[in-house]
Structure 1
Amino acid sequence: MHRNRNRNRSRSRSRKAAPGALGPRSAATALLVAAAVLAGCERGLSNGPEASPSGPSGCPEAHARAEAAVASAERTDIPWNGPTTGPRAVSRKTIVYVAQTMTNPGVAGAADGVQEAARVIGWRVRVIDGGGTPAGTQAAMSQAVALKPSGIVIGGFDAGATSQQAARAHAAHIPLIGWHAVAAPGPSRRPELFTNVTTEVGDVAAVSAQWVIARSNGRAGVVLFTDASIPFARKKSDLIRKELATCRGVRLLAYENIPIPDASTRTPQEISSLLSRFSRRWTYSVAINDLYFADAAPAFRAAGREGSGPPYNIGAGDGDPSAFERIDNRQYQAATVPEPLSLQGWQIVDEFNRAFSGRPASGYVAPIHVTTADNSHGATTWDPSGYQEGYRRIWGR
């Protein structure tokens, strides 16, 4: 939308005060002013003045780094850089995908990718919905283990929360693969996973915060939405806070912990409360999942806020079709850092094929991407090119 506006804005350095001696009263005044400035620059929850993108950058060095990082992540011409070798397809396998909740578009999108890839490789897939509660995911995992499948996907929930069911799966020699099940990609020992498929959470968190810094010219009042019940999401939001704090002109106004299963009921109420508290000081939002902005839209609309912002909203995952539609239509979301959900579903199938063949995990981690109205080109998902052909070649399909 207005991304280039900030890039074209000239940067200027603060002028130095003229040298000279200060009298006692002037010195005392200067100390008070300095204290006020320092207090205003404290990061965290803030009731400071409304942030503005006008004038010089609020953090020239951090702003320059952010602009470079965002420009790189906005590229769409990234060639396939995944595995090129691996075992041929193993036949007659059955996979159970245990979903945290299929109302989470990221979880559902990855499940769709698994099902699509399974059709190509010749396997069967069953999806069991955990309903978004700890009891539900535990029951779903128990059901999955009882089915004695070839492999089980832990789809979007804390793998440690189903440790008893996981132990039964390991005793039955059923490999477990996570999708956003732990905070880092790759194999995990505690909990024991053959591998965990996700982008690097640190990269996703950093670029979402950098987008705010770059677009706001280092001057923003930010609200951060998270689900602290999911370790992956909690780590992501902590890293977002850390990156935002690199810019002294960015204030974190509020940190909202709303569990994803409760988002549809709680988010509209929280948005109304935040608008009442912060009004025009709230200029940007970051959420660990795009769905918060789907639930926020009615409250923004009822408050008379324009769909094109402010606040300008970026989702640090997962990049579902509705997020792309909001971005393209400028309806209460300006950007997303989407997971390549279909690609990750195909990767899950490939990782299982390696497990069944006695091979190690591939070690592949998909690169991050930032989608805006300027580079979406009407797409409704982030679907990089080349991965389907790459995996078909490996599997001999």
Structure 2
Amino acid sequence: MTRVTGPPPPHPLVPSRAAAVHRGREAVHGTAVARSAALALLLAATALAGCERGSSHPPEVSATGPSGCPAAQAEAQAAVTRAERTDVPWNGPAGGPPAVPGRTIVYVAQTMTNPGVAGVAQGVREAARVIGWKVRVIDGEGTPAGIQAALSQAVTLRPSGIVIGGFDPASTSQQVARAAAAGIPLIGWHAVASPGPSTSPRLFTNVTTDVGDVAAISAQWVIARSHGDAGVVLFTDASIPFAKHKSELIDKGLAACPGVRLLAYENIPIPDASSRTPRDVSVLLARFGSRWTYSVAINDLYFADAAPAFRAAGKAGTGPPFNIGAGDGDPSAFQRVNGGQYQAATVPEPLTLQGWQILDEFNRAFSGRPASGYVAPVHIATADNSEGATAWNPSGFRKGYREIWGR
């Protein structure tokens, strides 16, 4: 994002961001005591600068108190309490076709440095050993050319099915068309914005938690934990439509509370995160100082890369800023959360479960059945409820899929 020394430009996602910040605030006009013209102009200029969402100036105090959103806080707290439950049984499909023998799956990864992509690949491998199929993983290495080459190679291998692992199929339209012409079913993981089948691009199904639920609970965690008074930095990768859409929804959720101010929207491509995040975090710390109290990232890995900059600035690992990852909940994210190392919470994808679900969906495709329609619930993992775990999955999914497959 472009950095300036004065007040920043309007927020890039929502055109009238200054108007959004004025909600619940009343401007004070006129007094019984005469003011000089110069003083009146100074006060007006200061008030406008403080009201702009993302401003580098301190925000005004809400007329209803520091939070100004008691209803939003109550709703957020109730949602967070539900999402922090750990006793969540698997509620996936009750039945399905038995395992089709002798199939080969190719998993094309956006980049295996993305812990979520790698975690699902591991789940696919685990499930393949149970169902009796072969799996090959091809790494796109995070570049458009690399992903296109990886998918081209996958189509050339003529497997039974191909997984679109964490990238936009529109960026590989020629390869997707070749797969369709060859009759190879495609299943996405975080490939399009919504779970379930897709006609454009053509996917048998897309496996993911509901992005709207993940974005909403991430924003609600900030609202509830901060009691409606926070300065937030949002990290995203706008080159991935799924991630960009998620960050837009997170921003919308944060805007439900006037006391929660979006200080900055940082667009850092995931393949560049290790090199760019430390530098950008240092700049943000210098710019916003103690006004930066919370962060939300579309992927946990940003906080791994941010840790050196926080540490160099003398920030405590337990915050502020208090950081939540809106995906993907890989083991390193849990380790940071459990160890109080610059991440307070994660909204984890059940990565292993989703790997198993992908193979179950392929088995349905090979059997001429429709997609299962299963969508995993959202969950918030913290040091208080994870009990040292390094992953989260609803209990009982392995047994459930084994019973379906007859394995």
Question: What's the TM-score, normalizing by structure 2?
Answer: 0.88
Match of 1:133 among 138, 143, 149: 143
Decide whether the 8 Å contact of 2:49 with 2:55 is kept in 1: no
- The answer to whether residue 404 in structure 2 is matched with residue 394 in structure 1 is yes
Counterparts of 2:287 and 2:155, CA distance in 1: 48
- The answer to whether residue 234 in structure 2 is matched with residue 211 in structure 1 is no
**Per-residue deviation, residues 267-323 of structure 1 (Å, max 9, x unmatched):** 000011001101111000000000000000011111111101110000000001111
Describe how 1:1-397 pairs up with structure 2 within 5 A: 23=32, 25=34, 40-43=50-53, 45-49=54-58, 57-397=67-407
Q: Structure 2: 5+ residue runs without aligned partners?
A: 1-23
Q: CA deviation at 1:58?
A: 3.4
**Per-residue deviation, residues 321-367 of structure 1 (Å, max 9, x unmatched):** 11101111101000000000000000000000000000000000000
Secondary structure at 1:228 match in 2: coil
The higher relative CO (CA closer than 8 Å, separation ≥ 6) is in 1
Q: Which amino acid aligns with 1:245?
A: A
The residue number in structure 2 matching 1:9 is none
CA 1:255–1:261 in structure 2 vs 1: closer, same or farther (change >3 Å)?
same
CA 1:171–1:83 in structure 2 vs 1: closer, same or farther (change >3 Å)?
same
**Per-residue deviation, residues 181-232 of structure 1 (Å, max 9, x unmatched):** 0011000011000000000001100110110110001000000000000000
CA 1:63–1:39 in structure 2 vs 1: closer, same or farther (change >3 Å)?
farther
Counterparts of 1:51 and 1:351, CA distance in 2: 52
Secondary structure at 2:392 match in 1: coil
Decide whether the 8 Å contact of 1:51 with 1:283 is kept in 2: no
Counterparts of 1:391 and 1:39, CA distance in 2: 57
Counterparts of 2:226 and 2:59, CA distance in 1: 12
Q: Which amino acid aligns with 1:142?
A: S
Q: CA deviation at 1:80?
A: 1.3
Counterparts of 2:202 and 2:319, CA distance in 1: 44
Q: Which amino acid aligns with 1:81?
A: N
Counterparts of 1:126 and 1:257, CA distance in 2: 32
CA 1:60–1:48 in structure 2 vs 1: closer, same or farther (change >3 Å)?
farther
Counterparts of 1:136 and 1:296, CA distance in 2: 26
**Per-residue deviation, residues 241-292 of structure 1 (Å, max 9, x unmatched):** 0010110001111000000000000000001100110111100000000000
CA 1:271–1:32 in structure 2 vs 1: closer, same or farther (change >3 Å)?
closer
CA 1:77–1:34 in structure 2 vs 1: closer, same or farther (change >3 Å)?
farther
CA 1:56–1:272 in structure 2 vs 1: closer, same or farther (change >3 Å)?
closer
Q: CA deviation at 1:57?
A: 3.1
Q: CA deviation at 1:38?
A: 7.3
**Per-residue deviation, residues 16-73 of structure 1 (Å, max 9, x unmatched):** 9xxxx974849x9999989976764543x22232799xx7533111111111111110
Counterparts of 2:248 and 2:31, CA distance in 1: 43
Decide whether the 8 Å contact of 2:282 with 2:309 is kept in 1: yes
The residue number in structure 1 matching 2:12 is none
Q: Structure 1: 5+ residue runs without aligned partners?
A: 1-13
Q: Which amino acid aligns with 1:352?
A: F
Decide whether the 8 Å contact of 1:50 with 1:281 is kept in 2: no
Secondary structure at 2:385 match in 1: coil
Counterparts of 1:210 and 1:111, CA distance in 2: 30
Q: Which amino acid aligns with 1:127?
A: V
Secondary structure at 1:308 match in 2: coil
Decide whether the 8 Å contact of 1:152 with 1:177 is kept in 2: yes
Decide whether the 8 Å contact of 2:67 with 2:257 is kept in 1: no
Q: Which amino acid aligns with 1:357?
A: S
Percent identical among aligned pairs is 76
Provide the aligned length of Structure 1 versus Structure 2.
Answer: 375
Q: CA deviation at 1:376?
A: 0.5
Counterparts of 2:66 and 2:246, CA distance in 1: 29
CA 1:298–1:72 in structure 2 vs 1: closer, same or farther (change >3 Å)?
same
CA 1:331–1:22 in structure 2 vs 1: closer, same or farther (change >3 Å)?
closer
